Amino acid sequence: MAKSPDKLDMLKFVDLGQNYPEKRAPSLRAEDFQEIADKYAPDKAAEQSARCSQCGVPYCSVHCPLHNHIPDWLRLTAEGRLREAYEMSNLTSTMPEICGRICPQDRLCEGNCVIEFSGHGAVTIGAVEKYITDTAWEEGWVEPLQPGRPKDQSVGIIGAGPAGLTAAEYLRVAGYEVHVYDRHDRAGGLLTYGIPGFKLEKHVIMRRVQRLKDGGIQIHENFEVGKDATLEELRGKHDAILIATGVYKAREIQMPGVGAPGVEEALDFLIASNRKSFGDDVPNFDNGRFNAQGKNVVVIGGGDTAMDCVRTSIRQGAKSVKCLYRRDRANMPGSQNEVRNAEEEGVEFVWLSAPRAIEGTDHVTAVRANRMRLGAPDASGRRSPEVEPDSDFTVNADLVIKALGFDAEDLPGLFDSPDLAVTRWGTLRVDHKSMMTNLDGVFAAGDIVRGASLVVWGIRDGRDVTEHMHRFLRAKKAMERVAA
Ligand SMILES: Cc1cc2nc3c(=O)[nH]c(=O)nc-3n(C[C@H](O)[C@H](O)[C@H](O)COP(=O)(O)OP(=O)(O)OC[C@H]3O[C@@H](n4cnc5c(N)ncnc54)[C@H](O)[C@@H]3O)c2cc1C
Ligand code: SF4
């Protein structure tokens, strides 16, 4: 039986805690943080799984974007048949242990558990999913990737995030030669450089990536499409292309002083922190620019990226961390669980507040803000925030992090493909029946089609697009045979 580590054992895997524990806020100790969901002891996993009523109406599966066979693997776990439970969960997901850690379960599977509806608290589906797949890795049940019978066709995938890697895995299993191009030096997309290690440990992603490489998928890191090759050049090399580049254009905020030193983009801050946890040399962290230690930090925004920034700042030992959001708690886009975690860790939320200017000439010293109130609903049905008259206030700040969300980059411009069709939001326009863009043989999946979304939806899209690409490639081969 696998030993159940105690909480500090768990923290060994937590990047920031591992590399610079002395930088935590002095009032907090390592064990005060709610890090990765505690590892379940086998009896706890079985106990939770046995709570599943096998209700026959699996709302949990319906609301899981992958339609995982949740009641089935819960039953197997309850019966102690862990290997079968793992195999069952692996049937529908390429990254079950990752989803188990970072899916917003309260909005997906667990939020739709009938036991939750009856007021008894949902079965902790995500934690069980994480437990069974982590156990599978420990026990050596995770099989190497077996490429299918070789086909003489190759596929080029731009972007090594969850959508690109999922498609890469399934296409390799189908026997294609698969090349993945990514502009970062490590694969994983936002799993690697966006989501902090206290939610998703880096080794968990890297072992998945290694399995793909060992299975013959060629991952070309430090390869930026648009710089190192154009889209047309890749189309000439491969029989089909998948664009899975995610969305990276940070939304801007217009206000006086926003260009002052000390006002930073969320993703730059998170990438620096994630790189540090890999042990990389990060001059902009070491010189203090992206290090919150000892600083008054103000994070602007109310989504999950903002939550990651406030919680990372706390772990780096910030003097104070405040989150300014223009709506109230009930109307924020981020997960309520994340807000609760952040509050417990010492983050102060300043609801109904919007920044109007940055103070400080050589470096930011404060954020000037207005109190807001919620007015009439806008086109989306959400009540629009309005400025309260004469409601100025000032918050001291040495580091301001802008976390206002992301839009699509200008891919037609970047890829030197002016014909590539986009929507009015800049995301790629696809035929939803085939997931193909307007360019023949060029498919798209993940955030670059949906806009900023979730890992589990990236995996789902990667799974779906494989089928469409496979059909396209078979038809292409058949036509080549006819023409020959
Ligand atoms: C800070 C943060 C925290 C998040 N936390 C969560 C969470 O807890 N749970 C959750 O479910 N979701 C979370 N998300 C959302 C989730 O990470 C994304 O929805 C998901 O990663 C999208 O997958 P993707 O494969 O479409 O794109 P990405 O993961 O963005 O991967 C795209 C890849 O394409 C590469 N790329 C881009 N342009 C080029 C180019 N020109 N040439 C080569 N490569 C290129 C990028 O380097 C990147 O590796 C978070 C997002 C952020 C920003
Ligand atoms: S993939 Fe996400 S939504 Fe689906 S069962 Fe796992 S944790 Fe729940």
Ligand nearest to the Cα of 70, by number: 2
pTM over 0.85: yes
Cα 420 to middle of ligand 1, angstroms: 21
> What is the pLDDT averaged over residues 367-394?
90
Among all ligands shown, which has an atom nearest to the Cα of 312? Answer: 1
Single-letter residue type at 32: D
Residues with beta carbon inside 6 Å of ligand 1?
A: 102-103, 158-164, 181-184, 189-190, 194-195, 199, 224-226, 244-246, 270, 304-305, 308, 414, 446-447, 453-456, 458
Mean pLDDT over the full length of the chain: 90
Q: Ligand 2: residues within 6 Å at CB?
A: 64, 66, 68, 70, 93, 99-100, 103, 105, 108-109, 125-126, 129, 456
pLDDT, average across residues 478-484:
92
Residue 53: per-residue pLDDT:
80
Stretch 94-107: mean pLDDT: 94
Cα of 441 vs centre of ligand 1, distance in Å, is 23
State yes or no: pLDDT of 18 exceeds 50: no
The answer to whether residue 20 scores a pLDDT higher than 60 is no
State how far the Cα of 304 lies from the Cα of 325, in Å rounded to an integer. Answer: 12
Ligand nearest to the CA of 244: 1
Ligand 1 midpoint to CA 182 (Å): 12
Residue nearest to atom 27 of ligand 1 (CA): 246
Mean pLDDT, rounded, for 134-154? 96
Q: What pLDDT does 37 receive?
A: 56
Q: Mean pLDDT over residues 181-195, rounded?
A: 98
Nearest-atom number in ligand 1 for the CA of 164 is: 25
Q: Which ligand is nearest to the CA of 186?
A: 1
**Which carries the bigger pLDDT value, residue 1 or residue 281?**
281
Residue 335 Cα: closest atom of ligand 1: 8
Q: Whose CA is nearest to atom 1 of ligand 2?
A: 99
- Nearest Cα residue to atom 8 of ligand 2: 109
The pLDDT of residue 5 is above 80:
no
Question: 249's torsion region: left (phi>0), alpha (psi -120 to 50) or beta?
Answer: beta
Look at ligand 2, atom 4, and give the residue with the nearest C-alpha.
64
